[in-house]
Amino acid sequence: MEKFLVINAGSSSLKFQVYDMPKQIVKMSGYFEKIGQNDSFYTLKFNEKKEKKIVFIPNHEEAVKIL
């Protein structure tokens, strides 16, 4: 089964979804908010579980590494 990653990057956020193709089933999703600020955080949803973590994310590159 193929996976497809969709990313929407804003100036201080990054949102994403991972799809199983070709059925277009969302397998994982989440977002990174307040990138570059001391109170930045991310939220991940996977297997019906949701994880939120407050952590300094200095830039979009670091957000992608966490992903």
Domain boundaries, the chain: 2-66
Q: Which of 43, 37, 42, 44 is nearest to 59 (CA)?
A: 37
Task: Look at residue 64 in the predicted model and tell me its pLDDT.
Answer: 94
Segment 2-27, tens digit of pLDDT: 999 999 999 999 999 999 999 999 99
Task: Look at residue 67 in the predicted model and tell me its pLDDT.
Answer: 87
**Residue 1 reports pLDDT greater than 80:** no
Segment 23-60, tens digit of pLDDT: 999 999 999 999 999 999 999 999 999 999 999 999 99
**Cα angle: 31, vertex 1, 5; to 5 degrees:** 25
pTM: 0.85
